[in-house]
Amino acid sequence: MLPWTYRDIDAFGTAPHRAAHLLHEQPMFTDDALADLLDRLPRTAVHPYTMGADPSATGEWQRGTPSDLPGKELLEVVGRGRLWLNLVGVNRYDDALARLVEEVYGEIGSLVPGFVPLEIKATLLISSPTAMVYYHADNQPNMLWHLRGRKRAYVYPRSERFAAAPDLEKVVAGATTEGLPYDSSYDAHAQVLDLEPGQVAWWPQNSPHRVENVEGLNVSLSTEHWTPASVRRERVWTANHFLRDTLRRDPRSTREDGALAAGKVAAMRLGRRAGLLRTGEQQALQPSFRIDPDVASGVGRL
């Protein structure tokens, strides 16, 4: 599944990078197979979104209500509209996709010394030709396996200029959504990864990024994985959020090992047990539209 070079293996998880894969050759990603998958999934696992055309207008990202359209019709609307479907936790519902994810991660483990993920989550992304995802950062490391259409990812340096510490701490702690403040001047410093079917992209944990579709119905598999190192980073940044937001301290260190890091994490755990810190409770977007096959964009009013 992974015809990776030594350069690909060396860059795994450490830098924005694009490599080859063979997942797109699987028959489970044809129109008929995707329509069947949509019909079998609980629609509560199919999260519809829409967006504007300006990457700076991050407030235009909207969530829709679950659709009861048949899978084939839903694909047709997405193919001509302005929609983004997240099939969340798809490996929990479909045995074939679960085996595929397990196989490909097993292959990564055989290629990358010491890579043993603690947990893996998969989300299948089906999106319109002109759809996009706004500037954001993810909590855990993830990989974008591109399967159909053409897509462009902009990956930005993981530094204070592009993701201020208080903003990133909130994202990691789950105190807010994944969105970050964005300025178009950031693009001059982005690494641009153009993706064709049969290519996978990754970047270091918490790196700010945004994605634009370029052509055709886009289908990608997004996988997220937890490792001892990524969990350690999550705990330290969550502890810094606790120190800043609850104890009104200004944490200056982001070291993920050593006595200081261990002390901060211990304080965070005590705060959580005392009810002073509640992580992962950000306010979810409330549905503001429904998928309407009679509207060109597919976005109808509730």
Domain co-membership, 217 together with 142: yes
Domain co-membership, 81 together with 190: yes
In this predicted structure, what is the pLDDT of residue 253? 64
- Residue 295 resides in a domain: no
H helices within the chain, ranges in order?
6-11, 31-40, 71-80, 95-111, 165-173, 228-245, 259-273
- Number of structural domains, the chain? 2
Is the CA virtual torsion 36, 39, 42, 47 positive or negative?
A: positive
Domain co-membership, 78 together with 217: yes
User: Which two structure tokens, joined as six digits, stand for 236?
Assistant: 């330290």
Domain co-membership, 62 together with 181: yes
In this predicted structure, what is the pLDDT of residue 238? 87
In this predicted structure, what is the pLDDT of residue 261? 65
- Residue 254 resides in a domain: yes
Helix, strand, coil percentages (3-state) for the chain, rounded to 5, are 35, 25, 40
- Residue 171 resides in a domain: no
User: Which two structure tokens, joined as six digits, stand for 219?
Assistant: 């289908």
- Residue 262 resides in a domain: yes
How far apart are alpha carbons 149 and 217 in whole angstroms?
5
Domain co-membership, 12 together with 29: yes
Beta bridge partners of 151: 195, 213
H or E, element range at 300: strand 299-300
Q: Which residue range(s) make up the domain with 237? A: 230-273
- Residue 282 resides in a domain: no
Q: Which residue has the tokens 């064709």?
A: 196
- Residue 118 resides in a domain: yes
The residue type at 68: D
User: Which two structure tokens, joined as six digits, stand for 289?
Assistant: 């539209």
Domain co-membership, 150 together with 241: no
In this predicted structure, what is the pLDDT of residue 240? 86
DSSP line for 198-221: TEEEE--TT--EEEEEEEEEEEEE
- Cα–Cα distances (Å) from 245 to 130, 160, 267, 296, in that order, read 38, 18, 13, 44
Report the CATH number that the domain containing residue 157 is assigned in CATH.
Answer: 2.60.120.650
Domain co-membership, 147 together with 268: no
How far apart are alpha carbons 263 and 34 in whole angstroms?
48
Domain co-membership, 181 together with 265: no
Domain co-membership, 235 together with 187: no
Indicate the SS3 state at residue 1. coil
Domain co-membership, 34 together with 142: yes
Q: For residue 90, how many C-alpha atoms fall within 13 Å in the half-sphere facing its CB? A: 26
- Residue 287 resides in a domain: no
Domain co-membership, 201 together with 239: no
Domain co-membership, 160 together with 220: yes
- Residue 293 resides in a domain: no
Please calculate the CA angle 82-88-91 and round it to the nearest 5 degrees.
130
- Average pLDDT of adjacent 10-residue blocks, the chain of 302 residues: 97 97 97 98 96 95 96 98 97 96 98 96 98 96 98 97 94 87 97 98 98 98 96 88 77 68 68 61 78 97 92
